[in-house]
Amino acid sequence: MSQTPMFEIENLHVSIEDKEILKGINLVVNPGEIHALMGPNGSGKSTLAYVIAGHPSYEVTEGSIRYFGEDILELSPDERAQKGLFLAFQYPTVIPGVSMANFLRMAVKNVRDARAEEIVANGGTAEPFTPREFRKLMREKMSMLKMDDSFATRYLNEGFSGGEKKRAEILQMALLEPRLAVLDETDSGLDIDALKTVSEGVNELMNPEMGILLITHYQRLLNHIKPQYVHIVMDGRIVRQGGPELAHELEAKGYENIRAELAAAS
């Protein structure tokens, strides 16, 4: 018997408004692994990310998603986050009157409190998470991501530039310390320096206990965040899997090649 994978998607079929978008996705992510998910526009990458996070609009018609052996499809997005799943972009675009710091403190507290409860339920002891601790943690992570202090007092995403939103996502991830992070096009809209800073941040956060699913269009990001595995999604299925060389091949030849091969094989 092989060990239970950390995260396992099996034969996942997903529909939206009776249109089937995902048509049997299989994917395993274990601790210490970075997986890149690439594929043409509309192939279903973001759909997969939303389903992992528990977005209510998507209907899973077949298959399963298991996290440490537990089926997570019945769990709310909150419960998934508490268990250590993270999807960049879990918050609404703008929440008037809620500062970045307050939003993040609530998000982190939610996850920390749930973890503390679990520790206590198992007979251990856990200290409450104090505002003071949060401020210290936030300062630490913001300096790691080279973010200006004023960021913390700004209202959530109000007037944030594209690059600032992406950094805010990574800051949220840094604070939540997830076991599985799904990053959907974290590179889009970043200037060259910001791409480097955000990538360095992700690399610094990566650890042997953690897995990352990185959705991207460009091999460029993969020069900074290096995946061991690359998967290509087309029309709701993973049609190619390989190592980093697959991303290079894609960059050089585009998707036409794969489409032609698939057509020839069918």
Ligand X SMILES: Nc1ncnc2c1ncn2[C@@H]1O[C@H](COP(=O)(O)OP(=O)(O)OP(=O)(O)O)[C@@H](O)[C@H]1O
Interface positions with ligand X (CB under 6 A): 16-17, 21, 39, 41-47, 57
Closer CB to Mg ion, 15 or 188, in the complex = 188
Position with the least CB separation from Mg ion: 46
Query: Residue 41: which of ligand X, Mg ion, none does it interact with, CB under 5 to 8 A by kind?
Result: ligand X
Cα 72 to Cα 25: distance, rounded to the nearest angstrom: 16
Min dist. Cβ of residue 135 to Mg ion (A):
34
Distance (Å) of CA 162 to CA 41, 115, 165, 186: 20, 32, 5, 10
Q: Which partner from the list Mg ion, ligand X, none does 3 bind, CB cut-off 5 to 8 Å by kind?
A: none
Nearest to 199 by CA among 223, 181, 233, 180: 223
**Whole-angstrom distance, CA of residue 266 vs CA of residue 259:** 11
The Cα–Cα gap between 217 and 184 comes to: 10
In a 3-state reduction of DSSP, which class is residue 151? helix
Nearer to ligand X, 115 or 237 (CB): 237
- What's the CA gap between 74 and 79, in Å, rounded? 10
- Considering beta carbons, is residue 57 or 266 the nearer one to ligand X? 57
Least distance to Mg ion, CB of residue 193, Å: 24
201: partner contacted, choices Mg ion, ligand X, none (Cβ within 5-8 A by kind): none
Does 46 bind Mg ion (CB under 5 A)? Our answer is yes
In the complex, the residues that contact Mg ion under the rule CB under 5 A are 45-46
